[in-house]
Chains A and B, each alone.
Chain A
């Protein structure tokens, strides 16, 4: 029945278009890459240029209520996450639980000892954890790693992968994303170029700041149905102050 429906449906469209069967070529032409878009490929950027992009991202992050932390080492990043965890209170439950993506970059952060001091529990969203859903719903903080970040709009790109579910950046009240400086790109077009090279592309999301709404008299409120705060930790090997020198 479904196939029949499709045939009837598409036939009605063909009738509306008045197309003959010779249209296949033209459609293939439409799918061919166009060269009239401004995009010329991603330049090979050095560290200095990446740092400039970071500055641009930080400028754009402010109005979006996205807090950016620049960290020179894994220890510093872990301390940063621990400080955020200590200073914020759970919104929905009473226990302090954190969910964290199963990602090498995040596993390298020495979080356990830091958080244990404040009796904050960490759950990893690995594929073999049967309780990811419960852990995520209970958690007040979700820590993820971003595939890329886009400077022009202060956006991060997250690809759904085994052990890296979509709910980690969504259900907890606070979202902390961790990014390596090398994965900074300038424009949305650059990010799309990288996305389209991903084999086996499926689910992904672009995130620009905490969730928000202006539905009540146009007054902007952070924290609609997703996180009400978002932090981006950028790992750089040397202090960012260098870029201004």
Chain B
């Protein structure tokens, strides 16, 4: 999996926070799409739709072997080829072989996060194959040597001026920051690629077992181009992206386009069932579907996390998450960012390695509200934290921070005993005194405590605890308990 650039979670988050263009875009994105998706769900005529579809997703996953077999049979019956790849390396090797066999010089890609997950660009480039992203956002990010920072809007971290300079340099056009002019320049350049490429490489939004077809969704038309004009079409499909029936596909499609972009339907929804047929003047000579596991079966086997495989990668959870909404996508160090990334990246690429992700989220629950398939991401984030705290041999997780664990053990002891707790309070109150600033807050701690005050002030311990105050009040008014309780309530009101 292509993960973690050179920056750590904290560093990349800082960078995101300091990028004014990203901050502006994120605000706009969240105000429009995040809130819009919530409103869309509220106005669904059938309020049971999401839970019903989620149930279908889970039932289908429970029969994933049969579903995939049926899909593969359907595609093979139309002359398409299906390859089951257990690992990223197997998938890459298959596509590389194919490219070699067919003497492929140029590959045009439709947006596919799975392709980034398995790192296929590098595998093809190693053979001297030119790989061109054709989704405008992905193309911009590729030219800039950067990484996508949103599932649906890859170059949200760049503004029109940056893109203008980039195009002036790479496409040799006079500098402009006018989006229509920039889009036209990319359209012209990419058209040549799309019309002359030997292989189109796409993802797969849904595979349908009943009809033996895959569905691809786009607004730009690049995916249709990539699946129509080149001699070969290779679709990469995460094994969980399957539905049982055409009806399931339709309803999921509607949730996907609503959740992702508040559209009734994307501009193009293509159904692909195999290679070009007798009498078709266009379409690919060969169609290959590569179904990828790459760690998904492990998620499937764990009832705690199986639910995450119901995800349809709509990006709605990114559009509402308060953490993603500030730090942007790069901090997540993976093609999958936001709340979904915080769950799925550790599960696919190592829980310890991506320990920061689940700890960075706030567990506020907004992603669960907005998710079209009602994925309980906060629950799974908490489960990941639990594994990091205590370790889990089944997932090869070692306790993330033994020192922290020790502190919590000690804390458990302290709060378990009244005497210890009171001694601790006294001690801490005395120790904190020199750190309290003029605003009455602790502005800065040192040593291992420094992390707590990095980026925020700490509230000092109160001079007396509730218990102590209660004791004080009641020792004065002993014998008049009822009265003081009523008074207390009155005060509160």
B4-12, B66-74, B354-362 - interface stretch:
B66-74
B122-130, B260-268, B372-380, B476-484 - interface stretch:
B260-268
Contact of A165 among B90, B220, B283 (CB under 8 A): B283
Question: How many Å from the CB of A76 to the closest CB on chain B?
Answer: 28
Known contacts A34-B247, A201-B213, A203-B270: does B86 contact A9 (CB below 8 Å)? yes
Known contacts A38-B45, A224-B183: does B211 contact A201 (CB below 8 Å)? yes
Count class of interface residues, chain B: 35 or more
Q: Is the CB of A211 within 8 A of B62?
A: no
CA distance A213 to B187 in the complex (A): 11
B272 at the interface (CB under 8 A from A): yes
Contacting residues, chain B, for A17 (C-beta < 8 A): 62-65, 300-301
**B-facing mask of A98-119, CB < 8 A → 1, else 0?**
0000000000000000000000
Contact of A224 among B25, B81, B222, B266 (CB under 8 A): B222
Q: Is the CB of A225 within 8 A of B190?
A: yes
Count class of interface residues, chain A: 35 or more
B20 at the interface (CB under 8 A from A): no
Q: Is the CB of A225 within 8 A of B221?
A: yes
Chain A's closest residue to B209 (CB) is: A31
Contacting residues, chain A, for B28 (C-beta < 8 A): 218
Contact of A215 among B154, B254, B267, B300 (CB under 8 A): B154
**A-facing mask of B178-210, CB < 8 A → 1, else 0?**
011011100110110011000000000000011
B321 at the interface (CB under 8 A from A): no
Q: Is the CB of B281 within 8 A of A165?
A: yes
Q: Is the CB of A5 within 8 A of B84?
A: yes
Chain A's closest residue to B181 (CB) is: A221
Chain A residues numbered 107-137 whose CB sits less than 8 Å from any CB in chain B: 125, 127, 129, 132-133, 136-137
CA distance A214 to B32 in the complex (A): 13
Contact of A221 among B32, B85, B180, B210 (CB under 8 A): B180
Q: Is the CB of B267 within 8 A of A209?
A: yes
Question: How many Å from the CB of A110 to the closest CB on chain B?
Answer: 25
A40-48, A187-195, A237-245 - interface stretch:
A187-195
Contact of A203 among B153, B187, B271, B297 (CB under 8 A): B271
Contacting residues, chain A, for B56 (C-beta < 8 A): 30
Q: Is the CB of A12 within 8 A of B297?
A: yes
B245 at the interface (CB under 8 A from A): yes
B404 at the interface (CB under 8 A from A): no
**A-facing mask of B12-34, CB < 8 A → 1, else 0?**
00000000000001001100100
Chain B's closest residue to A204 (CB) is: B271
Contacting residues, chain B, for A72 (C-beta < 8 A): none
Q: Is the CB of A207 within 8 A of B64?
A: no
Q: Is the CB of B137 within 8 A of A205?
A: no
Chain B's closest residue to A168 (CB) is: B282
A206 at the interface (CB under 8 A from B): yes
B113-121, B155-163, B426-434, B436-444 - interface stretch:
B155-163
**B-facing mask of A1-40, CB < 8 A → 1, else 0?**
0100110111011111111000110110011011011110
**B-facing mask of A161-180, CB < 8 A → 1, else 0?**
11101110011000000000
**A-facing mask of B130-143, CB < 8 A → 1, else 0?**
00001111001000
Known contacts A6-B84, A16-B301: does B224 contact A208 (CB below 8 Å)? no
A223 at the interface (CB under 8 A from B): yes
Known contacts A16-B297, A132-B282: does B195 contact A192 (CB below 8 Å)? no
Question: How many Å from the CB of B303 to the closest CB on chain A?
Answer: 10
Contacting residues, chain A, for B229 (C-beta < 8 A): 167, 171
Contacting residues, chain B, for A208 (C-beta < 8 A): 263-268
Contact of B220 among A206, A216, A224 (CB under 8 A): A224
**B-facing mask of A220-231, CB < 8 A → 1, else 0?**
010111110000
Contact of A213 among B52, B82, B90, B136 (CB under 8 A): B136
A219 at the interface (CB under 8 A from B): yes
* CB pairs A–B below 8 angstroms (24 shown): A5-B83, A10-B84, A17-B62, A17-B63, A19-B63, A23-B66, A27-B67, A37-B251, A92-B188, A92-B191, A127-B280, A188-B250, A201-B273, A203-B280, A206-B268, A208-B264, A213-B220, A215-B135, A215-B136, A217-B25, A221-B183, A223-B187, A224-B183, A226-B225
Which residues of chain A have a CB within 8 Å of any CB of chain B? Answer: 2, 5-6, 8-10, 12-19, 23-24, 26-27, 30-31, 33-34, 36-39, 60, 64, 92, 125, 127, 129, 132-133, 136-137, 152-153, 155, 160-163, 165-167, 170-171, 188-189, 192, 195-196, 201-219, 221, 223-227
